[in-house]
Amino acid sequence: MDDAVVIGSGPNGMAAAVTLARAGLSVRVLEKEDSIGGAARTLPLTLSGFRHDVGAAIHPLALASPFFRAFELDRRIQLTVPDVSYAQPLAGAAGATAYRSLGRTAAELGRDGSAWARLFGPLVHHIDSVTDFTANQMLRLPRSPVTAARFGLRALEQGSPLWNVRFREARAPALLTGVIGHSIGRIPSLASAAVGLVLAAHGHARGWPVPIGGSQAIIDAMADDLVAHGGVIETGVEVTDLRELAGARIVIADTSARALARIGRSVLPRRYARRLDRLKYGDGVAKVDFALSGPVPWAYEPARRSPTVHLGGTRREIRAAEAAVASGVTAEAPYVLVSQPTIVDPSRAPAGRHVLWAYIHVPHGSAHDPTADVMRMVESAAPGFRDLVLASNAYTAHQLERLDPNLVGGDISAGAITLPQLIARPRLSPHPWRTPVRGVYLGSSSTPPASGVHGLSGFYAARLALRDICDLATPDLRLR
């Protein structure tokens, strides 16, 4: 039997496997599907020659994650960092743009430019301290208490009724609300504000990189490293009972908390299994992929240069749309997150063609097809979009869970992003990745630091396992 078995081959599972293999352990990754990567896969979902990311296509944490920095991801794959991190079209040809340059962003935000600069300047200038505080479990004392305090005060402001105090116009708050919307849930709230501030700060610090060839490139880089260090990957293998892996010294589950409770019933203490089952899942996303005959003709010109575009209107309008979803209703004018990676990575489509994916937020487990909503919202901001559509493929929130079981009810975070669940995920502990069963760990987004393609949940689980079981230090992950 192998020293270690990792269940699941998403970014967290692969990060765990790489870390364990680099420490000299024999490692086997077991993946239920026929291909590796989970929601980070890149697949031909529409027409031949068009490659679409199942989940995120743009990766704000690819250059910021402590794991990916230690792994030297930027030396293993090609990442392009556009000048525009994200754009927010508004009525007509108006809008707002978050450039990688904080100064340029502020200069174009009119009377709110200085307020934007004051909001983000301290975070951008101390981005590594922000990452240290937010990418680790928040129960740990921050290495930079001043930066943590600055971040906390800003999250308190933007997560409360005070969120408009510093702004005088509509564009800056709309721009910020668009990125806050990534969190999925009622806004304003402390948790959603924290997510939005982190993403926006990274947008100005290191940018929002796009992996050339799709998100699969990130997974393949980790798979190559794992195999080079003796690891084995098996696809089409479903683990239904942890007793199947009884011979392994270490088991790390890159599964939802609910799935670990199910496959671990025979060995996990009942109290812990109940705690896993009690982790609350949030509202879902419903996603549609498009194969296009040309680039999207956004009325707001900077959106034509932005791989990420947020639709939904003003801060007030996005807030109303998210409130509708939280109350169990699909909004008539939903918040839409649009990704158009081929404007910087033409390799994903035939010459002159483009791919685009977009999702809307929907109630948990919804069977609502998002295609008409997305078509309407994009067309309103980019007249003529409909004429470009060659083919489309949609997934409801319910279908996304079938595509990747970690997306419970379409919840892309494997557990709702709320303040209590950022602190106790899945339980209150200085080491939430460790289960009560010796050698068994949870290393998915159901543990800190929650959602995002960062590999950290799996890395933290593996690092803890090496210390607990093998009395080994964290290995060197650098490319050699």
Maximum CA extent, the chain: 65
Position 140 scores a pLDDT of 67
- C-alpha 259/C-alpha 212 separation (Å) is 32
pLDDT along the chain (480 residues), means of 10: 95 98 98 96 97 95 94 98 98 96 98 98 96 75 89 97 97 98 94 96 97 98 98 98 96 98 97 96 97 98 98 98 96 98 98 98 97 98 98 97 93 94 91 97 96 96 98 95
pLDDT tens track for 206-231: 999 999 999 999 999 999 999 999 99
- 367 — phi, psi (to 5°)? -100, 15
- C-alpha 18/C-alpha 4 separation (Å) is 11
Position 135 scores a pLDDT of 84
pLDDT tens track for 112-126: 999 999 999 999 999
- C-alpha 412/C-alpha 444 separation (Å) is 12
User: Which parts of 101-213 fold into alpha helices (H)?
Assistant: 102-107, 113-125, 127-134, 145-158, 171-180, 190-205
Return the DSSP state at 305.
G
Residue 478: burial class (beta carbons within 10 Å; 0-12, 13-18, 19+): exposed
The per-residue pLDDT of the chain, averaged, comes to: 96
- Overall pTM surpassing 0.85 (yes/no): yes
- C-alpha 99/C-alpha 85 separation (Å) is 5
Number of C-beta neighbours around residue 311 at 10 A? 26
* Structure-token match 């089409």, residue found: 236
Residue 227: burial class (beta carbons within 10 Å; 0-12, 13-18, 19+): middle
- The CA–CA distances, whole Å, from 116 to 106, 164, 414 equal 6, 12, 32
356 contacts 296 by C-beta, under 8 angstroms: yes
DSSP secondary structure string for all residues of 442-470: E-STTSTT-SSS--HHHHHHHHHHIIIII
Question: Is 141 strand, coil or helix?
Answer: coil
279 contacts 258 by C-beta, under 8 angstroms: yes
Burial profile 5-26: b = 16 or more Cβ within 10 angstroms, e = fewer: bbbbbbbbbbbbbbbbbbbebb
**Which CATH architecture best describes the domain 4-41+212-281+414-470?**
3-Layer(bba) Sandwich (3.50)
Burial profile 259-296: b = 16 or more Cβ within 10 angstroms, e = fewer: bbbbbbeebbeeebbebbeebebbbbbbbbbbbbeebb
Rg (CA), the chain: 21
- C-alpha 82/C-alpha 61 separation (Å) is 14
